[in-house]
Amino acid sequence: MNLNGVFAPVPTPFDSHDRLDSAGLKAAFAMWIKGPLTGFVVLGSNGEAALMDEDESDRAIAIARDVVPRGRPLVAGTGRESTQATIAATKRAASLGADAVLVRTPGFFKAQMTHDVFVRHYTAVADASPVPILLYNFTAVTGVNLLPAAVSRLATHPNIIGMKESGGDVAQIADLVSGTPNEFQVLAGSSSTFYAALAVGASGGILALANIVPDACVRLLDLFRRGRHDEARDLQRQIVPLSKLLGQAYGIAGLKAALKLIGCDVGVPRPPLVPLPDEGVAALKDAIEAFQEVAA
Amino acid sequence: MNLNGVFAPVPTPFDSHDRLDSAGLKAAFAMWIKGPLTGFVVLGSNGEAALMDEDESDRAIAIARDVVPRGRPLVAGTGRESTQATIAATKRAASLGADAVLVRTPGFFKAQMTHDVFVRHYTAVADASPVPILLYNFTAVTGVNLLPAAVSRLATHPNIIGMKESGGDVAQIADLVSGTPNEFQVLAGSSSTFYAALAVGASGGILALANIVPDACVRLLDLFRRGRHDEARDLQRQIVPLSKLLGQAYGIAGLKAALKLIGCDVGVPRPPLVPLPDEGVAALKDAIEAFQEVAA
Amino acid sequence: MNLNGVFAPVPTPFDSHDRLDSAGLKAAFAMWIKGPLTGFVVLGSNGEAALMDEDESDRAIAIARDVVPRGRPLVAGTGRESTQATIAATKRAASLGADAVLVRTPGFFKAQMTHDVFVRHYTAVADASPVPILLYNFTAVTGVNLLPAAVSRLATHPNIIGMKESGGDVAQIADLVSGTPNEFQVLAGSSSTFYAALAVGASGGILALANIVPDACVRLLDLFRRGRHDEARDLQRQIVPLSKLLGQAYGIAGLKAALKLIGCDVGVPRPPLVPLPDEGVAALKDAIEAFQEVAA
Amino acid sequence: MNLNGVFAPVPTPFDSHDRLDSAGLKAAFAMWIKGPLTGFVVLGSNGEAALMDEDESDRAIAIARDVVPRGRPLVAGTGRESTQATIAATKRAASLGADAVLVRTPGFFKAQMTHDVFVRHYTAVADASPVPILLYNFTAVTGVNLLPAAVSRLATHPNIIGMKESGGDVAQIADLVSGTPNEFQVLAGSSSTFYAALAVGASGGILALANIVPDACVRLLDLFRRGRHDEARDLQRQIVPLSKLLGQAYGIAGLKAALKLIGCDVGVPRPPLVPLPDEGVAALKDAIEAFQEVAA
């Protein structure tokens, strides 16, 4: 399965009673699939998967599968803290039509998350999964780091086809690329360093920013692939201010607010998360407009 | 409700098929209640709650309630990442007979876990809970810190009666005590600093070590309360080596191995956690024997 | 040499041309020695030693020696990054009359500052020093941690008589006390945790706060020694707000501003440090007055 | 002054009595200048400047100036903790013939090293310096971070011509480049991310690795400049293993051992630093040979 390209990790709409908004999710996908993105990730960190129960998770995948045409990869996040729950979620996602799964590292028992524990966990999941799996390292939220040595080892498993590395540590991305076979797909998760990640060998990205400016993200990858480095670097610089606001600064609240600003209302985050305050919305609006001007 | 005293955060037994071992849990409680502990916490971090599903969690509470006599407080961990799931788990725990609940901070979206978010989350949970709640701060696993300023604010809620602070930062415990009313109960979670926590005003502890050497933990509190500081400090020094092994070094695997060494087999941790390697078991055995000698 | 007690790490006055203000230092000492403090430390972190050259350092010691009566220990900070410079500074300090020296860990090459390197460095300095030495760990500024295992080893050296531990990690202080002979003197450096440090076995403190409220610091130690724990703990709580302002929040600028507020003008810090802004001075004034009220 | 290119931050030889080895430094420079490097930095972190006194520092600059031909930039490290000492060292370096100075951030009083303090410090140094200055950020050793916002501000000073950023955070390097005028020269300090740094706009590097494999470092820059990205990236991958050993893992001891392995004996580091143990030397030897094979 070829996952080289740009994916949006889509947010999950909730209604005013804090329930999964199925109609809203369907409507949002109808818009997203019109764009140039390679594919979509549901139930990633940006999908607020950590705040949803198993039943809601299944419904979100089913809705996405209904709308996303075969041929454009649909990836579902299925990482859980226990190995057995991860396997169960993975099997359900596969049966609901996910083309691949994105499996975040467990991270609750940080001190025990060693190289060996990661290798054992992912091997068990990959052995049991009906669909290919992507490793997923997001140290800023998990507090653990899936290091290149463990990834090298896991990359030999036939059912582990790639990885999302959400950190901005470009040296670590370079090491992940060097330490894995050519067909192992390293996808960047940080749009602030997307160009640099490509420069050291990443094959694409799963970028929150791709929800907001999908064309720009796809164009950046395209420029890079054609060897038009100066233009790619310029475009990278243009997206950085918006990228930073959508990162840890504003989080999910920022992503949902930005989507609303561009005409796609996916509601507000689930509590304990809170909606973006007005000054945040104003800053996002400015950043989006500033980007549209320079990019025009 | 008076929670001043020493509590054991009990582990959850799993069987060889990685399922909740109800009989094992019942048997273990039969032993634990013979000791001098003030009460018990089920589904804390040491209970591997993060690795259990909702159904298993409910069953564990029901089993504990069956065995623990009224009059000895039974506290259930009910923290979840979303406010609604925390409230649901809290209500279920109360209906299953928990006397109080211990609500760990959410921590997945670290950058968004501000003072205001914590105040709103805990207020919503406390408003909805049929039983009193204890705040629970465990920065080493959550990566977030519930600071004294937020606790001061929350301590005014009539249904928030205290807090477990798992960190070893004694200055923070002192600030928690100073910033809350006298009846607000600050319980220490780190046995390595138990005496120091008492010295700055903690009223008791929820200590993994209390699973292994309950008499010593209770005696330390008793010595402190009688003003026999030198003896309390000596006892504290004697428990430190064992306490450190049971902390982050060996984690749940160490706690379960230590229980087995003293004759209470609660199985091994749930994957991805792995059993303690042999050299770890040997070190624990030495530390337990060394403690028994000095304490004799 | 008995260093149990409370010491002030005195600031160094500079004049309006950013030169060592010898007269100012002499005048300040004339005031300080009237108080109840056990002794004094010149050229500690609070003395801005890191910003002074070797000649200025020597003059500061000579001035202090002139004023501080024999019988009240005068300790000089002599830590440098290289072993040879530390030895040279130590010998000069001894020849200028310092009763003991306080030797901060080197910390520039953080990754190389291992247990063995610390043991070798301090052994070389202690071998060469004409006067007893105190180890000095201040992780917040050096970025390295002199751990209890290394201190245990060094405490056997006849010329190493104690240690200043500036961190607020009370468990580490407890470990330092347990791992060293009774006559090894562990002095706390953080006034926010002074009572807790005493509770776990520290024998005194070298406290920036002792420059401002020497009587309170000495009384706290005295209450503790008499077993009047409740009063000691109350006094500790009263000093915490002022203590926190004088710590990392305001640093040297805060210490100098606070001294000016109580009538002892020692000038402003040396650049790149800047004087405390007006709102900081106002906050300090409030904290000093609030303390004087509760303590009255 | 054009500093775009590759510089070696040269080590300082000490003799068996731990004194500056002037003859050794002169001999080493005789070898270094035969290579293709753009220029040299004396008294950088790798030069053990933190372990040397003022007189030794001056002599090292004088020796270098004697040997390095005019036309190849000679840069001297002159950062000190105080502003006045930094200015004095800078003036002496200029009078001894340094073409530019590299001024590391002060970092002892970490909590006080704010944006404004950095701007004031560097402005004062740049105003006073007879030669152009390079800012120097090395968070791993100083514990402080000179952020792009402060650099943007300082880059407008006519006597501040560039910066060495030693960290591997490529996003920060990208921000430094975006936030400064085109003629402001951002030089990378981490050879593990040299290609990535160039990709985001760095104009060269000051690389410890350039002491050992100067040709490869210069070739990497040359490949990049010619747009031969694939070859540059391959070469980058080849240097990473050696680069990592020379970084924090082995530090100065590793750099000196590696130089000895390639026939340039510059002695051992100054205590408290210790020589590289035998197994480290063996690992370095392997890495150098492995590099020579793939690069051949």
Chain B segment 48-107 residues within 8 A of A by beta carbon are: 50-54, 81-85, 106
Predicted confidence (pLDDT) at residue D158 exceeds the cutoff of 80? yes
Query: Is the per-residue pLDDT at C81 higher than 80?
Result: yes
CA-to-CA distance for B125 and B133, rounded, in angstroms? Answer: 8
pLDDT digits (tens, 9 = 90+) for C267-285: 999 999 999 999 999 999 9
> What is the pLDDT at residue A128?
98
Contact assignment for D120 to C272 by CB distance below 8 Å: yes
What span, in angstroms and rounded, lies between the C-alpha atoms of D257 and D273? Answer: 13
A67, amino acid identity: V
Q: How far apart are CA C235 and CA B248, in angstroms?
A: 34
> What's the average model confidence in pLDDT over B63-73?
96
**What residues are paired with B204 via a beta bridge?**
B5, B187
For residue B121, list chain A residues with Cβ-Cβ distance below 8 A: 271-272
Question: Does residue A231 sit at the D interface (CB-CB below 8 Å)?
Answer: no
pLDDT of residue D296: 73
Q: Spell out which residues of chain B touch residue A116, defining contact as CB-CB under 8 Å.
A: 274
Higher pLDDT, A180 or B294: A180
What are the pLDDT digits (tens) for C40-63? 999 999 999 999 999 999 999 999
Q: What's residue D17's pLDDT? A: 94
Instruction: Say yes or no to pLDDT of C296 above 90.
Output: no
Which amino acid belongs to residue A104?
R
- What does the pLDDT read at residue B294? 85
SS3 helix, strand, coil % of chain D, rounded to 5? 55, 15, 35
CB contact under 8 A, C252 and D109: yes
Asked if D106 and C82 come within 8 Å (Cβ–Cβ), the reply is no
Q: What is the pLDDT of residues B79-101, one digit of tens each?
A: 999 999 999 999 999 999 999 99
Of B192, B200, B236, the CB nearest to C196: B200
Alpha carbon distance, N-terminus to C-terminus of chain A: 34
| The two structure tokens encoding residue D74 | 């000679």
Element (H, E) at D161: strand D160-165
Cite the active site residues of A.
164
B109 Cα to chain A: minimum distance (Å): 6
Residue B247 has pLDDT above 90, yes or no: no
Q: Say if residue C248's pLDDT is above 90.
A: no
The answer, for D236 touching chain A at a CB cutoff of 8 Å, is yes
The confidence score (pLDDT) of residue C30 equals 93
Measured over the CA atoms of residue D47, residue D49, residue D50 and residue D51, the dihedral's sign is positive
Contact A174 D196 (CB under 8 A): yes
Phi–psi pair at D183, nearest 5 degrees = -80, -10
The catalytic residue among B164, B244, B256, B285 is: B164
- Amino acid letter for position B167: G
Which mean pLDDT values do the consecutive 10-residue runs of chain A (296 residues) have? 96 96 96 96 98 98 96 97 98 98 98 97 98 98 98 98 96 96 97 96 97 97 97 96 90 97 96 97 97 85
What integer pLDDT is reported at residue A62 of this predicted model?
Answer: 98
C295 pLDDT above the threshold of 90: no
Q: What is the pLDDT of residue C247?
A: 84
Identity of the residue in C109, C251, C274 whose CB atom sits nearest the CB atom of D251: C109
Is A171 in contact with D175 (Cβ distance < 8 A)? no
Residues in A closer than 8 angstroms to D174, CB to CB, are 192-193, 196, 236-237, 240
Please report residues of D whose CB lies closer than 8 A to that of A199. Answer: 195-196, 199-200, 229, 233
Could you list the beta-strand ranges (E) of B90-216. Answer: 100-104, 133-137, 160-165, 185-188, 204-206
Name the percent of chain D lying above pLDDT 90.
97
A232-236, B248-252, B256-260: range with lowest mean pLDDT: B248-252
With beta carbons less than 8 A apart as the criterion, state whether B135 and B154 touch.
yes
Burial of D91 (0-12, 13-18, 19+ CB in 10 A): middle
User: Across chain A, what does the average pLDDT equal?
Assistant: 96
B9 and B43 Cβ atoms separated by less than 8 Å? no
- Please compute Rg for chain C using Cα positions: 18
pTM for the model: 0.96
Tell me the HSE value of A84 on the side-chain side, using a 13 A CA sphere. 13
Question: Closest approach of chain B CAs to the CA of C207, in angstroms?
Answer: 16
Asked if C168 and B169 come within 8 Å (Cβ–Cβ), the reply is yes
Q: Report CB contact under 8 Å: A81, B249.
A: no
Instruction: List chains adjacent to chain A, taking adjacency as at least 3 C-beta pairs closer than 8 Å.
Output: B, D
With beta carbons under 8 A apart, name residues in chain A contacting B120: 271-272, 274
Residue C244 annotated in active site: no
C-alpha triplet B269, B275, B277: angle, nearest 5°: 160
Q: Kindly give, in sequence order, each residue whose CB lies less than 8 Å from that of residue D161, ignoring residues fewer than 6 positions away.
A: D1, D3, D100, D132, D133, D134, D183, D184, D185
Nearest to B196 among C170, C236, C237 (CB): C170
Both structure tokens of C104: 């901060």
Q: What are the residue ranges of helices labelled H in chain D?
A: 22-32, 54-67, 83-95, 115-128, 139-142, 148-154, 170-178, 194-199, 214-225, 229-244, 251-261, 278-295
Looking at residue A264, what is its pLDDT?
95
Chain A residues touching residue B124 (CB < 8 angstroms) = 271
Interface ipTM > 0.95? yes
- Percent of chain D at pLDDT exceeding 70: 100
Question: Is chain B adjacent to chain D, meaning 3+ CB pairs within 8 angstroms?
Answer: no
Of the candidates B193, B201, B240, the beta carbon closest to that of C170 is on B193
Whether C64 and C93 have beta carbons less than 8 Å apart is answered as no
- Chain C nearest CA to B241, separation (Å): 10
State both tokens at D102.
Answer: 């590299």
Closest Cα in chain D, distance from residue A83 (Å)? 33
- Range D109-120 average pLDDT: 97
Closest-CA distance of chain D to residue A177, Å: 10
